[in-house]
Chains A and B, each alone.
Chain A
Amino acid sequence: MTPEEVVVAIKDIIQTIAPDEEVDGLDMNERLRDQIELDSMDFLDIVMELRKLYGVQVPEEDYKELGTLQGCVDYLGPKLADKELHCASRA
């Protein structure tokens, strides 16, 4: 998965978890929770979807790395490099 595809993957997961939110225009560097309505339960859903779709385990101490889309790319990029993009919302 390329960094661009990591963004697609994360946006797709967010869209599944928060279907009322608009994800297309999300800023890469602004905190996700400041842009859309996401609470701690949603965040746990994101981690669960990463585990289910890509087999990626995110330990609790690393949750802070997923605060922005750019943070997701930086943290998840290496973990997803050899994974195929799945789109959960279209699965």
Chain B
Amino acid sequence: MIDLPRVVITGIGLTSPNGNSLAEYRKNLLAGVSGVQPYEIRYFGKTLAGICDFDALRYQKRKEVRRGTRAGSIAVFCANETLADAGIDLETRDRNRVGIYIGTTEHGNVETEAEVFNISQYGYDCSYWSHHHNPRTVANNPAGEVTLNLGIGGPAYCLGGACAAGNLGLIQGMQMLQLGQVDLALAGGVSESIHTFGIFASFNAQGALATHADPTKASRPFDTARNGIVVAEGGALYTLERLDDALARGARIYGEVVGHSVNSDATDFVLPDSDGQNRCMRLALESAGIEPGEIDVLSTHATSTPSGDTVECRAVREVFGDEPRVHVNNTKSFIGHAMGAAGALELAGNLPSFEDGVVHATINVDDLDPECDLRGLVLNEPRRIGEVEHVMNMSFGMLGINSAVVVKKYHRG
């Protein structure tokens, strides 16, 4: 086993449909406040979405917002917020030693659809196609916009990992710190997906888009009446540092990233696979050097689709069985599926459990599906469980990509 430096989380910047800071987000997760609202988008029409209301102009000029992308604005907001939260002033740092690693489910659909609509207003004359299209749609756009905003000169790029991407950003940031390539990593995931009609139309065509008379009840993982995904936007970026660096500057430490894994089902374009998810969870536990029974909070990926939740619950049951310490929850029931940001946001909402000993619930479960009746499921109301030592966060995506991260409470001294 290679002896790699330990990596800790020292800052969190986020925007979620139900909060624009960790404190607001956590408060609403504990209070059962949803961020899902009625929404309407070109061509597709009326639907539901998790919509963020952060102030983009807090860190960007109006021209930068106009020129860039929504994903770029989300990333810039989260990057500035995470640095402020970590108490880091880049003026005192070598900006060439700062890296940015942002997971995205997809990027470019929003901007391409907008340009096609734009030229449709001019008889599809391509001379009306914007010169901004390429810089807006390149896969590194969100990370690149952060470098421009903060003058960061280190390695900065995005990781395309479908809905497993939020964990990928975190894992990449950790590895770059361990390899000594950077001294500071801003890592996580972002999503602008609610601004592409295609994602709604495609989920709808697949029979996987949620509907409900009450928007706040539409995302209901594990409920018998669940009928699909609520698409959401958002982002979360973590400040990651090597433990020694964090200790040297007296940083507050949210937790230590002790385990992770990424694997592939290799079975289907869309359908998840219990075996692949099972392997992913076991690999993450193995890399953390712990047993399943040592996980206190298990943050599920469940998206509120009839088949996806069942498949995931089977995998969780196989790995964790009846372990008494494991508590299971789900964040999408509050905010919908934030795609590339999902993994990063879902982990963030659970990290305060290290301090308050409370597990936030899975809301909207009125009639628990027997196939999703996992031991330790925290339903509808948060539960105080006392000391929390390990949080495990799972994120899965299309084409069979699975990711898991294990974060451990940091004990000083």
A: residues with CB less than 8 A from B are 17-20, 37, 41-42, 44-45, 48, 51-52
Of chain A, the residue at the smallest CB distance from B129 is: A48
Q: How far is the CB of A17 from chain B (nearest CB, A)?
A: 7
Q: How far is the CB of B148 from chain A (nearest CB, A)?
A: 12
Of chain A, the residue at the smallest CB distance from B131 is: A44
Chain A residue contacts of B67, Cβ below 8 A: 41
Residue among B61, B122, B128, B131 making CB contact with A41, cutoff 8 Å: B131
Chain B residue contacts of A44, Cβ below 8 A: 131
Does B384 lie at the interface of the complex (its beta carbon under 8 Å from any beta carbon of A)?
Answer: no
Q: Are A52 and B61 in contact (CB under 8 A)?
A: no
Chain A residue contacts of B61, Cβ below 8 A: 20
Of chain B, the residue at the smallest CB distance from A18 is: B63
Q: Are B62 and A19 in contact (CB under 8 A)?
A: yes
Q: Are A19 and B132 in contact (CB under 8 A)?
A: no
Q: Are B63 and A52 in contact (CB under 8 A)?
A: no
Q: Report how far A37 CA is from B122 CA in the complex, Å.
A: 30
Q: How far is the CB of A39 from chain B (nearest CB, A)?
A: 10
Q: Report how far A17 CA is from B131 CA in the complex, Å.
A: 13
B: residues with CB less than 8 A from A are 61-63, 66-67, 122, 127-128, 130-132
Q: Report how far A52 CA is from B123 CA in the complex, Å.
A: 12
Q: Are B131 and A48 in contact (CB under 8 A)?
A: yes
Of chain B, the residue at the smallest CB distance from A40 is: B131
Q: Report how far A18 CA is from B122 CA in the complex, Å.
A: 24
Chain A residue contacts of B62, Cβ below 8 A: 19-20
Q: Report how far A48 CA is from B131 CA in the complex, Å.
A: 9
Q: Are A51 and B127 in contact (CB under 8 A)?
A: yes
Of chain B, the residue at the smallest CB distance from A16 is: B66
Residue among B66, B127, B130, B131 making CB contact with A19, cutoff 8 Å: B66
Q: Report how far A43 CA is from B42 CA in the complex, Å.
A: 29
Q: How far is the CB of A41 from chain B (nearest CB, A)?
A: 7
Of chain B, the residue at the smallest CB distance from A47 is: B131
Q: Report how far A19 CA is from B128 CA in the complex, Å.
A: 21
Q: Report how far A33 CA is from B132 CA in the complex, Å.
A: 20
Q: How far is the CB of B134 from chain A (nearest CB, A)?
A: 11
Would you give 24 A-B contacts (Cβ < 8 Å), ordered by A? A17-B63, A17-B66, A18-B63, A19-B62, A19-B63, A19-B66, A20-B61, A20-B62, A20-B63, A37-B63, A41-B67, A41-B131, A41-B132, A42-B63, A44-B131, A45-B131, A45-B132, A48-B128, A48-B130, A48-B131, A51-B127, A51-B128, A52-B122, A52-B128
Q: Report how far A56 CA is from B122 CA in the complex, Å.
A: 14
Q: How far is the CB of B281 from chain A (nearest CB, A)?
A: 46
Chain B residue contacts of A18, Cβ below 8 A: 63
Q: Report how far A51 CA is from B118 CA in the complex, Å.
A: 13
Q: Report how far A18 CA is from B63 CA in the complex, Å.
A: 6
Of chain A, the residue at the smallest CB distance from B65 is: A19
Q: How far is the CB of B106 from chain A (nearest CB, A)?
A: 25
Q: Report how far A17 CA is from B132 CA in the complex, Å.
A: 12
